[in-house]
Amino acid sequence: MHSVAPTGSISSLIASVRALGGRFLTLVTLEGKQAGLSLAWMLGLALAAAVLAITGWIALLACVVLALVQNDIVGWGWALSIAALLSFAGAGGLVFMVIQRSRYLLFPATRRQLRRICGGGNQHE
């Protein structure tokens, strides 16, 4: 016995799959646009927050310098040097943290697994 599906049912199935695919593609496109706009807003707001944080740090250093000079603790030169050293120390600490975190950018566990799969054995970098 030979079973053949009616032509109308196959064409309606293809039409349904096309319609479903079209709706799915429209949904993905709309959500992609929404995600892109959200990312742009997030980056803009992060930039604004960074500018405000830098402004606050400069204002805090200015207050420290002014307090040191007005209370005759140190002169302008030493007060500004202390402020600069505080900024350099903070920047150095942040750079050290960035360097420490950078090792996770190299996907160490994934690379280890790939070496095992590719027959790299126990080679270490």
What token pair was written down for 14? Answer: 């293809």
Orientation angle between helical segments 7-70 and 76-102, nearest 10 degrees: 150
Position 59 scores a pLDDT of 97
pLDDT in tens, 12-43: 889 999 998 899 889 889 999 999 999 999 99
- The amino acid at residue 112 is R
SS3 75: coil
Residue ranges of domains in the chain: 1-73, 76-125
pTM over 0.85: no
Please report how many Cα atoms fall inside a 13 Å half-sphere around the Cα of residue 64, on the Cβ side: 16
Is it the case that residue 123 has pLDDT exceeding 60?
no
